[in-house]
């Protein structure tokens, strides 16, 4: 079947399989490998991308359901002016180690910052509980995100 | 390997929290992992795994699968003729694919190479395998029963890196034993004033590196190339060379960024089957495990233990006796080393009149078990520390005081013939105690716990590094250490920059590629900064000495390097190369190790909900006793990561097996810590006594916190009145124990 959508601000048209997952579409057809595969059951968050500015787990989201919609991956976010703040905060707080969860984490954070729903450290913890990180122990990420959201860690 | 700090450290290099060198690549999604690598003409491989934990294979029919469009080939045991198809770095017991018999649910039986992953997965369904089920050895108890079926008939053959002396013949299902006997143990117990004893259980645990095991293999003639998510590329290279009968120099292992490891990617894992499949297909093949497959590729050992500990009225610990059994699954993987390290950790860092340890590594029909961060220490520290606290309680001594009285001090012998203690444990335990408010009043329903232990660290100290200084004054470090998230590339850049008097950003450290980067034994056992870092320092020192010779001055600074190149080489080119090597020194015996003792010191404060059994961790504190922190921020982050994994091991994580079948094989029902498990207060205290064997007096960190926090949570829960004997401390287990205590009339304490 034919799929038409926006990816990182550019129009994309491709032939796809009806059962194709958005994660495979992005990684295999478009070469956007910033979105990662891990749990396959929407528990870990490493495959997170934004669809119409809301985070989705692309491992459990049909590519066909992105028809006509706007998909943002880490490669697109990294080109946006607001990314500089995120990059600076995550770097200064050493809020990453192996980096496998990092793209998904940043996309979730970017969406939450945009809606302004992070009003306390508790909000940050609750809102990011669907993005697992096995390396950092979360504190560096918490510090970085609280700073970005203007709340006390 | 002692190292003396001769010159003051320089701003911007060692001792400073410079930003991670890989931050931009990783934050922008540009960092490549093995699954992101695409090789021309690459196929996709999928593995058919046994459903049965123990069965005879009576027939395999692959013809339907082979006829499918898009399928290139199917690999079975029939393709292994002509090679010795068994691998395993410790014991060579594991076939590339099952031969006539499967020994665990999840064991590879066949593999398909196809043009795309979906076709390969569909082809697995068309392979017909007939099994005849055999009696399942599902637990340690079943494996040790007198009439138990034998999981591996043997004879046991040592692998290339057995590393534990001569391999003894198997006794039933026991593939390795470790024994320590010091002093008159029976006499000591006969004269003790207080004795505590018990039986304990530690579950099988999944390391959950978020990147699953992934390999791209290419075979061209007798040249084998791998892009692999492996922690120890040089050991994989040697095993692959031996298995496929090619020269070590013909095997190239390239390791991109690793998406976590924690031991799960140590030694060889999915590389042999990927190479065998690529060899048959005649084209490169990528195999990427799914989580359920990685869970049965390797895991942490489940353990059963019996322990007793003796104390006298004056508060002196007298003796300890430990028997423990490690469930290594169907194949040994790193089981012998885990068992030996656990044996060394079992007595704990106390001054004993006598102790005895009997540790056994046992085959069962479950997934093979290997390394996971702080193995051995995590298994036994919580048990030993629970017994120390119980003895202190009976003798009316404060838990901090009993540790002050009995802990070994720097320079004291810990294990016969081994390295003496190289850390100030009493200072360390006092710091964590203070951090959690030891001695201040506790709110109702809470408990506080301390824990102290040691982990033999550093593995075998063999590492080399090359430093290349270029004509523009930039430098490249070549080192075979893999970047698994720990920050090795950043720390090595700092060390080279320090010695070359360069800003850290002028030094580049790339990934491991066995064709170009010199030998590094492994990335694990907290060894990279200490051992490989020392090799980097020596290589950079050599370059610096050349610069001083060329300049004829000790004071030459980096702004004059380009000029020196012109003077020496006659052009704005050339290259100065330095080589650094670390090898066992002294008598060189591995048995005399470890390279250093990693401290595992922690404290915790917990609250218990009596009605639900839920344990909430309010405070944790750990010590990173690192000798010298090359990058303090990265040290803290290591301990924080270890702390959260310690909470997982203490409270949540358990691979639930029933009759050899894994019941919780997804992240929906295998629970790891999330953001919401972050304790309100988490203290990571860095101690720098410059007492390590690494560069600038450094020694490793990152593992100790896991063992320490697991144990501190257990001792804190006991302090709150609920002494437990099985991990993890799930609400159900804690609640049931509280009901038992109520029936005994000992709740609340």
How many angstroms separate the Cα of B408 from the Cα of each of B413, B442, B449, B621? 8, 29, 20, 21
Same domain, B598 and B573: no
Q: Spell out a b/e string for B233-272, using b for 16 or more CB atoms within 10 Å of the CB, else e.
A: bbbbbbbbbbbbebeeebbbbbbbbbbbbbbbbbbbbbbb
Domain boundary among B583, B605, B639: B583
- Mean pLDDT, chain B, as a whole number? 95
Same domain, B447 and B507: no
Q: What is the mean pLDDT of residues B719-737?
A: 98
CB contact under 8 A, A102 and B26: yes
Q: What is the CATH number of the domain that holds B684?
A: 3.30.365.10
Nearest CA in chain B to A138: B675
Q: Residue B177's beta-bridge partner residues?
A: B360
Domain boundary among B583, B601, B617: B583
Distance CA B429, CA B27 (A): 37
A11, A4 Cβ separation under 8 angstroms = yes
Q: Identify all chain A residues contacting B679, using CB atoms and an 8 Å cutoff.
A: none
How many angstroms separate the Cα of B522 from the Cα of each of B160, B290, B464, B484, B654? 14, 25, 11, 12, 28
**Long-range contacts at B560-569 (CB < 8 A, ≥ 24 apart):** B561/B469, B561/B473, B562/B471, B562/B472, B562/B473, B565/B471, B569/B471
Residue B8 reports pLDDT greater than 80? no
| Count of Cβ atoms closer than 10 Å to residue B643 Cβ | 31
Distance CA B575, CA B606 (A): 58
Q: Which class is domain A83-149?
A: mainly alpha
CB contact under 8 A, B667 and A39: yes
Domain residue limits at B401: 377-457+591-744
Q: Identify all chain B residues contacting A137, using CB atoms and an 8 Å cutoff.
A: 637, 639-645, 678, 682
Q: Identify all chain B residues contacting A36, using CB atoms and an 8 Å cutoff.
A: 33, 35, 210-211, 259
Distance CA A80, CA B596 (A): 47
Q: Which range is least confidently modeled, B65-69, B166-170, B443-447, B517-521?
A: B166-170
| pLDDT of the residue at B1 | 37
Same domain, B453 and B466: no
B204 or B504, which is more confident?
B204
Out of A44, A78, A126, whose CB is closest to B210?
A: A44
Residue B381 reports pLDDT greater than 80? yes
HSE (CB half, 13 Å, CA atoms) of B592?
7
Residue B384 domain-assigned? yes
Same domain, B493 and B577: yes
Residue B397 domain-assigned? yes
Query: Which two tokens mark B458?
Result: 């550093």
Query: Which two tokens mark B10?
Result: 């320089």
Selected for mutation to probe chain B from A39, A72, A77, A98 (highest B CB count within 10 Å) is A98
Could you read off the pLDDT of A3-14 as tens digits, one per residue?
999 999 999 999
Distance from CA of B524 to the nearest CA of A (A): 14
Coil vs helix vs strand at B529:
helix
Q: How many CB pairs under 8 A join A and B?
A: 160
Same domain, B634 and B717: yes
B635, B699 Cβ separation under 8 angstroms = no
Could you read off the pLDDT of A70-127 as tens digits, one per residue?
999 999 999 999 999 999 999 999 999 999 999 999 999 999 999 999 999 999 999 9
Query: Which of the four CATH numbers 3.90.1150.10, 3.40.50.970, 3.40.50.10190, 3.10.20.30 does domain A2-77 have?
Result: 3.10.20.30
CB contact under 8 A, A137 and B20: no
Q: Identify all chain A residues contacting B36, using CB atoms and an 8 Å cutoff.
A: 33
Q: Identify all chain B residues contacting A85, using CB atoms and an 8 Å cutoff.
A: none
* CA B353 from centroid of its chain's CA atoms: 31
The residues, any chain, with a CB within 8 Å of residue B393's CB and separated by 6 or more, are: none
Residue B190 domain-assigned? no
Residue B442 reports pLDDT greater than 90? yes
| pLDDT of the residue at B592 | 60
| DSSP label at residue B300 | B
Q: Identify all chain A residues contacting B22, using CB atoms and an 8 Å cutoff.
A: 99
Coil vs helix vs strand at B670:
coil
Coil vs helix vs strand at A5:
strand
Residue B342 reports pLDDT greater than 50? yes
* CA B531 from centroid of its chain's CA atoms: 16
Out of B633, B637, B676, whose CB is closest to A129?
A: B676
B160, B87 Cβ separation under 8 angstroms = no
Q: What is the mean pLDDT of residues B307-316?
A: 98
* CA B649 from centroid of its chain's CA atoms: 14
Out of B27, B35, B260, whose CB is closest to A135?
A: B260
* CA B226 from centroid of its chain's CA atoms: 22
Residue B749: pLDDT band by 50, 70, 90 thresholds? confident
Query: Which two tokens mark B218?
Result: 């290419």
Q: What is the dihedral of CA A123, A127, A133, A138, to 10 degrees?
A: 0
Out of B19, B25, B641, whose CB is closest to A137?
A: B641
Tell me the angle at which helices B271-281 and B233-244 cross, rounded to the nearest 10 degrees: 50
Its pTM stands at: 0.97
Nearest CA in chain A to B641: A137
Could you read off the pLDDT of A39-84 as tens digits, one per residue?
999 999 999 999 999 999 999 999 999 999 999 999 999 999 999 9
Residue B4 reports pLDDT greater than 80? no
CB contact under 8 A, B27 and A38: no
Closest CA to B103 of B70, B126, B135: B135
Distance CA B628, CA B524 (A): 19
Distance CA B461, CA B451 (A): 28
Catalytic residues of B: 703
Coil vs helix vs strand at B472:
coil
Q: Identify all chain A residues contacting B259, using CB atoms and an 8 Å cutoff.
A: 36, 98-100
Q: What are phi and psi of B616, to 5 degrees?
A: -110, 130
CB contact under 8 A, B674 and A98: no
| DSSP label at residue B724 | -
Provide, rounded to the nearest whole percent, the portion of chain B with pLDDT above 70. 97
Nearest CA in chain A to B33: A100
Domain boundary among B552, B583, B614: B583
Could you read off the pLDDT of B641-677 as tens digits, one per residue?
999 999 999 999 999 999 999 999 999 999 999 999 9
Same domain, B613 and B739: yes
Could you read off the pLDDT of B208-238 as tens digits, one per residue?
999 999 999 999 999 999 999 999 999 999 9
The residues, any chain, with a CB within 8 Å of residue B552's CB and separated by 6 or more, are: none
CB contact under 8 A, A92 and B19: yes
| pLDDT of the residue at B359 | 98
| Count of Cβ atoms closer than 10 Å to residue B183 Cβ | 13
Distance from CA of B56 to the nearest CA of A (A): 32
Same domain, B468 and B522: yes
Same domain, B522 and B625: no
How many angstroms separate the Cα of B290 from the Cα of each of A37, B251, B285, B666? 9, 26, 16, 10
Q: What are phi and psi of B379, to 5 degrees?
A: -65, -40
CB contact under 8 A, A46 and B210: yes
Domain boundaries, chain A: 2-77, 83-149
Same domain, B518 and B536: yes
Nearest CA in chain B to A21: B118
Residue B473 domain-assigned? yes
Q: What is the number of structural domains in chain B?
A: 2
Q: What is the mean pLDDT of residues B715-743?
A: 98
Same domain, B453 and B544: no
Distance from CA of A98 to the nearest CA of B (A): 4
Q: What is the mean pLDDT of residues B462-478?
A: 97
Same domain, B476 and B602: no
CB contact under 8 A, A99 and B28: no
Angle B670-B674-B678 (CA atoms, 0-180°, nearest 5)? 135
Residue B180 domain-assigned? no
B101, B56 Cβ separation under 8 angstroms = yes
Residue B320 reports pLDDT greater than 70? yes
Selected for mutation to probe chain B from A23, A34, A135 (highest B CB count within 10 Å) is A135
Selected for mutation to probe chain B from A50, A90, A97 (highest B CB count within 10 Å) is A97
Residue B7 reports pLDDT greater than 50? no
CB contact under 8 A, A99 and B212: no
Residue B9 reports pLDDT greater than 70? no
Provide, rounded to the nearest whole percent, the portion of chain B with pLDDT above 90. 93
Q: Identify all chain A residues contacting B639, using CB atoms and an 8 Å cutoff.
A: 137
Selected for mutation to probe chain A from B17, B18, B27, B261 (highest A CB count within 10 Å) is B27
Same domain, B559 and B702: no
């Amino acid at each position: 079947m034919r799929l038409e959508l926006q990816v990182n601000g550019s129009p994309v048209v491709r032939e796809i399989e009806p059962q194709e997952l958005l994660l495979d579409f992005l990684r295999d057809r478009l070469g956007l490998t910033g979105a990662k595969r891990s749990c396959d059951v929407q528990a870990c968050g490493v495959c997170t991308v934004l669809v119409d500015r809301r985070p989705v787990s692309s491992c459990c989201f049909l590519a066909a359901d992105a028809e006509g919609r706007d998909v943002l991956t880490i490669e697109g976010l990294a080109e946006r002016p607001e990314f500089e703040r995120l990059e600076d905060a995550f770097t200064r707080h050493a809020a990453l180690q192996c980096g496998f969860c990092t793209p998904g984490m940043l996309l979730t954070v970017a969406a939450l910052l945009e809606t302004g729903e992070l009003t306390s450290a508790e909000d940050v913890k609750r809102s990011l509980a669907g993005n697992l990180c096995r390396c950092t122990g979360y504190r560096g990420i918490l510090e970085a995100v609280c700073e970005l959201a203007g709340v006390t860690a | 390997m002692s190292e003396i700090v001769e010159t003051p450290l320089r701003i911007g290099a060692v001792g400073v929290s410079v930003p991670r060198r890989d931050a931009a690549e990783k934050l922008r999604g540009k960092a490549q992992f093995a699954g992101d690598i695409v090789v021309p003409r690459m196929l996709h491989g999928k593995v058919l795994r046994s459903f049965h934990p123990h069965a005879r294979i009576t027939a395999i029919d692959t013809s339907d699968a082979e006829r499918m469009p898009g399928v290139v080939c199917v690999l079975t045991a029939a393709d292994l003729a002509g090679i010795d198809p068994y691998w395993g770095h410790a014991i060579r017991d594991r076939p590339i694919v099952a031969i006539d018999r499967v020994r665990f649910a999840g064991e590879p039986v066949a593999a398909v190479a196809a043009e795309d992953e979906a076709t390969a997965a569909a082809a697995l369904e068309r392979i017909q395998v007939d099994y005849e089920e055999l009696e399942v050895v599902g637990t340690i108890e079943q494996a040790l029963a007198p009439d138990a079926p034998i999981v591996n008939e043997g004879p046991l053959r040592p692998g290339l890196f057995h590393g534990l002396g001569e391999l003894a013949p198997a006794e039933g299902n026991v593939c390795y034993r470790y024994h320590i006997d010091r002093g008159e143990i029976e006499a000591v117990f006969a004269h003790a004033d207080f004795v505590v004893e018990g039986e304990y259980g530690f579950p099988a645990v999944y390391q959950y590196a978020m990147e699953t095991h992934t390999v791209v293999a290419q075979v061209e003639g007798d040249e084998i190339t791998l892009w692999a998510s492996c922690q120890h590329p040089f050991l994989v290279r040697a095993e692959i060379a031996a298995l496929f009968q090619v020269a070590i120099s013909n095997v190239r292992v390239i390791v991109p960024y690793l998406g976590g490891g924690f031991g799960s990617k140590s030694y060889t894992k999915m590389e042999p089957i990927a190479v065998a499949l690529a060899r048959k297909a005649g084209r490169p093949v990528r195999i990427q495990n799914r989580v359920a497959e990685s869970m049965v590729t390797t895991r942490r050992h489940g353990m059963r233990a019996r322990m007793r500990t003796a104390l006298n009225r004056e508060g002196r610990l007298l003796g300890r006796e430990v028997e423990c059994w490690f469930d290594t699954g169907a194949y040994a993987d790193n089981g012998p080393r885990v068992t030996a390290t656990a044996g060394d950790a079992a007595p704990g860092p106390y001054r004993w009149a006598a102790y005895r340890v009997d540790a056994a590594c046992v085959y069962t029909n479950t997934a093979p078990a290997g390394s996971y961060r702080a193995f051995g220490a995590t298994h036994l520290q919580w048990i030993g520390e629970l017994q120390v606290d119980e003895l202190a309680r009976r003798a009316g001594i404060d838990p901090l005081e009993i540790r002050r009285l009995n802990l070994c001090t720097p320079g004291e012998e810990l294990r016969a013939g081994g390295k003496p203690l190289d850390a100030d444990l009493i200072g360390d335990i006092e710091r964590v105690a203070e951090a959690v408010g030891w001695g201040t009043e506790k709110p109702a329903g809470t408990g506080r716990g301390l824990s102290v232990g040691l982990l033999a660290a550093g593995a075998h100290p063999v590492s080399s590094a090359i430093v290349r200084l270029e004509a523009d004054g930039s430098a490249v470090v070549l080192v075979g250490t893999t970047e698994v998230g720990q920050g090795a590339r950043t720390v090595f850049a700092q060390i080279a920059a320090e010695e070359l008097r360069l800003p850290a950003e002028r030094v580049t450290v790339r990934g491991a590629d066995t064709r170009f980067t010199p030998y590094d034994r492994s990335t694990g056992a907290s060894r990279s900064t200490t051992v490989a870092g020392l090799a980097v320092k020596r290589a950079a020192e050599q370059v610096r000495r050349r610069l001083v010779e060329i300049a004829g001055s000790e004071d030459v600074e980096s702004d004059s390097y380009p000029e020196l190149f012109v003077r020496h080489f006659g052009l704005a080119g050339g290259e100065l190369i330095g080589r650094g090597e670390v090898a066992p020194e002294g008598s060189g015996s591995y048995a005399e190790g470890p390279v250093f003792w990693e401290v595992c010191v922690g404290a915790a404060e917990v609250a218990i909900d009596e009605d639900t059994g839920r344990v909430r961790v309010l405070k944790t504190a750990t010590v990173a006793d690192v000798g010298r922190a090359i990058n303090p921020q990265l040290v803290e982050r290591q301990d924080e990561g270890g702390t959260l994994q310690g909470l997982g091991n203490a409270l949540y994580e358990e691979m639930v097996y029933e009759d050899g079948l894994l019941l919780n094989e997804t992240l929906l029902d295998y629970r790891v810590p999330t953001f919401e498990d972050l304790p309100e207060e988490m203290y990571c205290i860095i101690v720098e006594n410059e007492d390590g064997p690494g560069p600038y007096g450094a020694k490793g960190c990152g593992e100790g916190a896991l063992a320490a926090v697991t144990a501190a949570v257990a001792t804190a829960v006991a302090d709150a009145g609920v002494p437990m004997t099985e991990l993890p401390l799930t609400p159900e287990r804690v609640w049931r124990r509280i009901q038992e205590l109520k029936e005994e009339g000992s709740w609340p304490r």
